[in-house]
Amino acid sequence: LINDVLLLTRERRDIGTTEPVAFRESVEAAWAMVTDKADGAELVYAGTSESAVIQADSSRLRQVLENLLVNAIEHGGTDVTVRVETTATGFAIEDDGPGVPQEDRHRVFDTGHTTSEEGTGVGLRIVERIVEAHGWDIRVTDGIDGGARFEITGVEFVEK
């Protein structure tokens, strides 16, 4: 909890310098950091170019990815499948877990909102702040398998 609050406080500042960042490598590094939370979780790519490069603060992008991946594991269960894809205007991360009910979607980015007993309620708020600091947008929708889908748009691709 203390680390999450400190991170949230730091996120009030602007992001650092942006640079071309290999998107898939960032996803792989974030996945390596969180897979100890669920040995049976699976990461799949759908429509994600191996050569996709985006303009981002690489460490902040990694925080976004780690938080979204942990969220998928915590809410989708240890055998969750997490799907990552690049889109025409950004990227999306979705899972095949229970999803986010329509009536709760406006609150998922609120500080303190959590449905997990272990959750602090700041992870998605941190994600939103980092996304906004990049000039991007984020929204939560339904995934193709009924889980949660987080779409980040407004991302500048350097290469695809």
End-to-end CA distance of the chain: 37
> 65 pLDDT band (50/70/90 cuts)?
very high
Max intra-chain CA distance, the chain: 41
CA 150, 110, 15, 35 torsion-angle sign: negative
**Entry pTM:** 0.84
For residue 150, pLDDT beyond 90 = yes
DSSP state of 50: T
pLDDT at 2: 44
Are 77 and 38 contacting, i.e. CB atoms less than 8 angstroms apart? yes
12 or 58: which leads in pLDDT = 58
Q: Find, among 127, 130, 134, the residue nearest to 148 by Cα.
A: 127
The DSSP H or E segment spanning 3 is helix 2-10
Instruction: Report d(CA 92, CA 112) in Å as an integer.
Output: 24
For residue 66, pLDDT beyond 90 = yes
For residue 122, pLDDT beyond 90 = no
Range 48-55 average pLDDT? 88
For residue 119, pLDDT beyond 70 = no
